[in-house]
């Protein structure tokens, strides 16, 4: 059952990268994450192996009674090997270290890959809803519903004054992290990005790379999320992030206009060179691909090129990641081989689209 879901997932791009949804030229995806813990159990970092198993059992039983979690797959540590852990992390369905750090963990992923719930990560429950484009409210509605349903069955650790209690104090309160994956090539190329990040930080938001905390900014992809979980309601947090991201999208559009006014040839050249390299290279690292795809995305936004669509770019972004590539080929490969297979796959996908 667990295996079957993973095989099915590998056949298609992650739904949250479908390239649909409002403002999807700039906002790749929206994400809501809620941290919850069950009363009367120690937080996972200090829970014994037995208690961790008991928590997972409790959850599995609870989830089976929840409408929104009826269609999906429940995994336990041991169900998922190294390659599939990487695969799920690349799809942003688990944190990179989740299954690797010892046992006693559980994971639920719904059939549409919209909802994923990590059990016994830092908190008992890390509920996540992911969706394509600028769709924070939609994600929040679904997360809120699932959260309510779980809360009806199990008693959350909740303090009248502080709100939801969590293993790490930075999550206490709403336990909410709302985040957006945003593509900002214009602001990077015009060197306005540092200013924008500074301004974002001052209003209580944080900015990170594609793969979360501590990762480099690759392909001009930024994750923007709320920093504080205390003192503001969920709606306030989401409204504020929505409003600020609308502003960032405006800045980005302005930057792209400036680029096209000041250096149209250079931008066009950058876009077409990137396409030429992706269409012809025989060896491509994952990082290089992310940067080249960024140029293609910019070209598409500016209507400088029409040989692919946002969906194709998003798909390439994910299927060229190491674990996805190995799932695609059906075996483990070293970096050298991956770089060659990656180049072949990209060439093929871009050529397929061109002919289609």
Residues that bind a second copy (CB under 8 A): 265-266, 268-269, 272-273, 275-283, 336, 340, 343
| Nearest-approach distance from CB 306 to a second copy, in angstroms | 14
Pick 244 or 304: Cβ nearer a second copy: 304
Pick 73 or 256: Cβ nearer a second copy: 256
Pick 98 or 275: Cβ nearer a second copy: 275
Q: Strands (DSSP E) along the chain, which ranges?
A: 27-36, 72-76, 106-110, 115-119, 125-132, 158-159, 163-164, 176-183, 205-208, 221-226
The DSSP secondary structure of 311-340, one letter per residue, reads: HHHHHHHHHTSHHHHHHHHTS---HHHHHH
| Nearest-approach distance from CB 217 to a second copy, in angstroms | 24
Pick 243 or 273: Cβ nearer a second copy: 273
Pick 49 or 266: Cβ nearer a second copy: 266
| Nearest-approach distance from CB 280 to a second copy, in angstroms | 3
| Nearest-approach distance from CB 333 to a second copy, in angstroms | 13
Pick 239 or 268: Cβ nearer a second copy: 268
Question: Residue 2 class from Cβ within 10 Å (0-12 exposed, 13-18 middle, 19+ buried)?
Answer: middle
Please list the helix, strand and coil fractions of the chain in percent, rounded to the nearest 5, in that order. Answer: 50, 15, 35
Bridge partners (DSSP) of residue 112 are: none
Phi and psi dihedrals of 260, rounded to 5?
A: -75, -20
| Nearest-approach distance from CB 143 to a second copy, in angstroms | 43
Per-residue H/E/C for 191-234: CCHHHHHHHHHHCCEEEEECCECCCCCCCCEEEEEECCCCCCCH
Phi and psi dihedrals of 257, rounded to 5?
A: -65, -45
Best CA proximity match to 152, nearest among 211, 30, 48, 65 = 65
| Nearest-approach distance from CB 337 to a second copy, in angstroms | 9
């Amino acid at each position: 059952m667990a295996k079957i879901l993973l095989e099915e997932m590998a056949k298609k791009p992650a739904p949250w990268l479908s390239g649909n949804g409002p403002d999807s030229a700039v906002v790749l995806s929206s994400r809501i994450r809620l941290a919850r813990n069950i009363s009367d159990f120690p937080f996972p970092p200090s829970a014994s192996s037995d208690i961790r198993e008991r928590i997972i059992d409790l959850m599995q039983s609870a989830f089976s009674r929840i409408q929104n979690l009826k269609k999906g797959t429940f995994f336990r540590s041991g169900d998922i090997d190294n390659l599939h852990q990487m695969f799920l992390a690349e799809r942003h369905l688990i944190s990179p270290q989740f299954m690797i750090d010892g046992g006693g963990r559980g994971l639920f992923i719904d059939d549409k890959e919209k909802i994923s719930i990590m059990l016994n990560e830092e908190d008992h429950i890390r509920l996540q809803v992911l969706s394509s484009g600028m769709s924070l409210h939609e994600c929040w509605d679904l997360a809120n519903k699932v959260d309510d349903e779980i809360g009806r069955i199990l008693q959350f650790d909740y303090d009248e004054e502080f709100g939801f209690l969590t293993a790490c104090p930075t999550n206490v309160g709403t336990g909410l992290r709302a985040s957006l994956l945003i593509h900002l090539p214009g602001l990077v190329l015009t060197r306005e990005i540092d200013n924008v990040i500074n301004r974002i930080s001052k209003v209580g938001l944080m900015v990170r790379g594609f793969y979360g905390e501590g990762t480099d900014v690759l392909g001009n992809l930024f994750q923007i999320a709320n920093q504080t979980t205390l003192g503001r309601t969920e709606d306030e947090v989401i409204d504020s992030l929505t409003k600020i991201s609308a502003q960032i999208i405006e800045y980005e559009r302005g930057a792209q206009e400036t680029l096209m006014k000041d250096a149209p040839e250079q931008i066009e050249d950058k876009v077409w060179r990137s396409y030429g390299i992706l269409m012809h290279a025989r060896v491509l690292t994952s990082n290089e691909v992310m940067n080249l795809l960024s140029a293609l995305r910019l070209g598409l936004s500016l209507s400088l090129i029409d040989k692919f669509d946002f969906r194709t770019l998003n798909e390439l972004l994910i299927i060229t990641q190491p674990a996805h590539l190995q799932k695609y080929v059906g075996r483990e490969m070293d970096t050298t081989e991956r770089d060659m297979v990656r180049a072949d796959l990209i060439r093929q996908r871009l050529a397929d689209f061109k002919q289609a």
